[in-house]
Amino acid sequence: MTKSFKTFLKHTAKDFHNQSVNPPVVRASTIIFKSMQDIRKMQKKAIQNPIGGHFDYARQGTSTTYILQKILTKLEESYHVFTTQTGFGSVFLAIFSVVRPGHEILVADPVYSPTRILTEKYLKEFDIKTTFYDPHDLKTLEKNITKKTKLIFVENPGSNTFDFQDLGKIISIAKKNKIYTAIDNTWGTPYYLKPIKLGFDMSIVSATKYYSGHSDVMGGSLAVNKKVFPKVKITEKITGQRLGPDDAYLITRGLRTLDVRLDRHSDNAKKVASFLSKNKKIKLLYPYKGNSQNFKMWKKYYSGASGLMGLKIKAKNTNAVRKFVNSLKLFGYGYSWGGFESLALHQEFRETGKRKYMKLSKDEHLVRLHIGLEDPSDLIADIRQAAKHLK
């Protein structure tokens, strides 16, 4: 990327042919040609340049989806980016591209619950073994590597508990043993972390979150390096994992302000975190201040922090935690995050997945907050009045 991240987002993909700032939405199932010779020419170009946006059928995309792919490839500093209908679609595409029956995979213990179900239960039916490792003790990763191990799947930070791992060490272990690596980088996005540049083979982002930014679209992206590209390409084609043009348009439009929004999310989150850190009943799960291992690992690899954080609340009565959450007036209650609005969720144990290494006592409860773009003083005042229920 020759221009800065911020400038690139504002100036890329202008459509001078249609004289529009944003590229148009091209909807198609059939891609039409003037002759059979033209079809064959296009197919030949697609073989010669498989990342060049040459289509003979719209399952491969249209100009609208291709433009988004080009933008994301620049942002990720990757060889190519595939786009899928949901963020979890990109998780599926990454795993199924490199893993086959008889293989084994290693997965970070604090992954997104559906990722855990997919790897631990669904893959088992295909004779694929999953072993979970402790994000804070990578010896649990190394000692479980066998000749059958094909993939290390990382989510950083960990879902709900926000565990930050030593990414460089994981990459080193993987390369030493010739194992593929994938990371779910939805929390950081390539604005704060570029996994392919760091050494990962695949990087996943749920475009539903910060890329879109307006809570009105579903989508996912999978950035890859050159080595793994052919495997993902054939899997994408066979499984039909492809984002539609309307969603691609909305995500492209959202990306124009990604930097502005993330800067504000981050600033607001720091102010809220500063307030929350003073409450003795709350342990803040966010890289704000301190010399903890989590903070050190965040500082080592990230250039910033987004707006999603966790709270570990000490309360003997679960109802007190629920009252705290339900008393929030400026926080919506709902799944997902990454939009302009603040959200809150009381995370039940079933929603975190049955983890092997999570240390949570009976009187500790997890609450997830997404800090939106509202005035931070209003958010702090709202949390202050709701926190009175934490007795």
CATH 3.40.640.10 fits 5-255, yes or no: yes
Task: State the architecture of 258-389 in CATH terms.
Answer: Alpha-Beta Complex (3.90)
Domain limits, the chain:
5-255, 258-389
Whole-angstrom Cα distance, residue 219 to residue 223?
Answer: 14
Mean pLDDT over each residue of the chain, to the nearest integer: 93
- pLDDT per position as a tens digit, 182-239: 999 999 999 999 999 999 999 999 999 999 999 999 999 999 999 999 999 999 999 9
Q: Is-contact 89 97, C-beta < 8 A?
A: no
| pLDDT band, residue 391 (cuts 50/70/90) | confident
- Give percent above pLDDT 70 in the chain: 97
Q: Is 141 left (phi over 0), alpha (psi -120 to 50) or beta?
A: alpha
Which of 174, 160, 150, 123 shows the shortest CA–CA distance to 337?
Answer: 160
Other beta carbons less than 10 A from residue 279's beta carbon: 15
- pLDDT per position as a tens digit, 106-152: 999 999 999 999 999 999 999 999 999 999 999 999 999 999 999 99
- pLDDT per position as a tens digit, 347-376: 876 666 678 888 888 888 999 999 999 999
Alpha-carbon dihedral sign for residues 27, 337, 274, 380: positive
- pLDDT per position as a tens digit, 230-280: 999 999 999 999 999 999 999 999 999 999 999 999 999 999 999 999 999
For tokens 């997965």, name the residue. 107
CATH topology match: 5-255 vs 258-389:
no
Whole-angstrom Cα distance, residue 252 to residue 135?
Answer: 33
| pLDDT band, residue 60 (cuts 50/70/90) | confident
Buried (b) or exposed (e) across 235-261, using 16+ Cβ within 10 A? bbeeeebbbbbebbbbbbbbbbbbbeb
| pLDDT band, residue 11 (cuts 50/70/90) | confident
Whole-angstrom Cα distance, residue 290 to residue 338?
Answer: 25
**pLDDT at site 310:** 96
- pLDDT per position as a tens digit, 303-361: 999 999 999 999 888 899 999 999 999 999 999 999 999 999 998 766 666 788 888 88
